[in-house]
Amino acid sequence: MSRIALVTGATSGIGEACARSLVGSDWRVIGTGRRAERLEALKAELGDAFHPAVFDVRDEAARDAALAALPESFAGIDLLVNNAGLALGTSPAQSADLDQWKTMIETNVTALVSLTHKLLPGLIERKGAVINLSSVAATYPYAGGNVYGGTKAFVRQFSLGLRSDLAGTGVRVCSIEPGMVETEFTLVRTSGNQQAHDALYGGATPMTGEDIAETVRWVAELPPHLNINTLELMPVSQSFAGFQVARD
């Protein structure tokens, strides 16, 4: 019998690619997101192995109703892929929009820990796995990354803390930390600025959602005695820059 994965944020980018990759590898996938029509299109493409669950991850009541309504064939989640997330804005902290900061924290941190808390008992029962989408922004600060980087550092450290708490349960936890992946990420971050999207990814050969999805699938399918704690990836075109110095 195939295993069951819940992938948050399956309407676009990395999560959508994860749904395809996992179904292609004989998983049954519950894919979540707010855009129902995107999930319905995936259902039409992937068939009975895919179950669409439409909810905002910040809305615990809607989430719980969707989980309670899972068909029998999707009950018993073995793998949680905490992928739904976003960056909003690139302004320095001193001119950033506080509401955008709150939305990032509510989505990338609060909703992620809440869903994880909800599913942990079942994951322990089934010796399952949690794969969290952090980012290189967790480790390498950059101008305008402020709260986004903070949320992703939380995701990384939460993942490591989970590993520690789950010792002896057989549950695996991995923090996946990608650099530049061409998805809708920059359009969301810049409120739909196509020029910003094109300028960031143009000529850079960024990673794709499929690249990250293959990594997620690989981590999920490792033998049960192996755990990848953290996994950082970048396109070859991306690397590190030096410190900045403000001068008089």
Residues with a catalytic annotation lie at 148
Q: Shortest Cβ distance from residue 88 to ligand NDP (Å)? A: 10
Cβ-based nearer residue to ligand NDP, 184 or 210: 184
Residues 161-180 that bind ligand 8X3 (CB under 6 A): 179
Q: Does 116 bind ligand NDP (CB under 6 A)?
A: no
Q: State in Å, rounded, how far the first CA of the chain is from the last one.
A: 67
Q: Does 149 bind ligand NDP (CB under 6 A)?
A: no
Nearest residue to ligand 8X3 on Cβ basis: 135
Residues 106-135 that bind ligand 8X3 (CB under 6 A): 135
The CB density around residue 186, as the number of other CB atoms within 10 Å, is 22
Exposed/middle/buried for 204, CB within 10 Å: 0-12, 13-18, 19+? Answer: middle
Cβ-based nearer residue to ligand 8X3, 2 or 208: 208
Q: Does 57 bind ligand NDP (CB under 6 A)?
A: yes
Cβ-based nearer residue to ligand NDP, 166 or 234: 234
The C-alpha atoms of residue 60 and residue 63 are separated, in whole angstroms, by: 5
From the list ligand 8X3, ligand NDP, none, pick the one residue 175 interacts with, judged by a Cβ distance below 5 to 8 Å according to partner type. Answer: none
Q: Which of 30, 48, 28, 52 is nearest to 40 (CA)?
A: 52
What b-and-e string marks burial along 33-45, b requiring 16 or more CB atoms within 10 Å of the CB?
Answer: bbeeebbeebbee
Q: Does 181 bind ligand NDP (CB under 6 A)?
A: yes
The token pair that represents 67 in the structure block? 């989980």
Cα dist from 62 to 110, 141, 180, whole Å: 15, 34, 32
Give the footprint of ligand NDP on this chain (CB under 6 A): 9-15, 33-35, 56-58, 83-86, 107, 133, 135, 178, 180-181, 183-185, 188, 209
Give the footprint of ligand 8X3 on this chain (CB under 6 A): 135-137, 145, 179
